Amino acid sequence: MQEATFLILTALAAGSQHGYGIITDVEQISKRRVRLRAGTLYTALERLRADGLIEVDHEEIVDSRLRRYYRLTPDGGERLAEEAARLRANAHVAMSRLDVNGGAARA
């Protein structure tokens, strides 16, 4: 799973969000390292929706602008949990090896 995809799913894990909400949330989660652009975001959303990992929650019109809210599907939540567990396991191995070999390298 690409990092952008992981971050988008993470942004939706706390509840439904619209496109701009996802962009700002992903920026916050990644500590301003990942700033999604609109084209990239919608390609990713389209793919996630086709894969059944997210779905449309509801739509709102604010200041005559359409906002479509997305949410995780049960499948999407499962995939995200699997991926998070995988990343944690990898990170754990990395950390423990650094501790054994270097001692000083604690993140």
Partner 1 sequence: MSNSTDLERRYRRLLAFYPRAFRREHEQEILSVLMDSAAPGQRRPGVAESADLLANATGMRVRQPTAWEERHHPVLWIWVRVLAGIWLVILTGMLCQYGRWWGLALLVPAALHFYLALRLGRFIESQGEAGGPPSNPPAP
Residues in contact with partner 1 by CB under 8 A are 18-20, 23, 37-43, 46, 49-50, 56, 65-68
CB closer to partner 1, 21 vs 84: 21
CB of 82 to partner 1, least distance (A): 25
Distance CA 18, CA 104 (A): 43
CB closer to partner 1, 40 vs 96: 40
CB of 46 to partner 1, least distance (A): 7
CB of 8 to partner 1, least distance (A): 13
CB closer to partner 1, 50 vs 107: 50
Distance CA 10, CA 22 (A): 9
CB closer to partner 1, 71 vs 98: 71
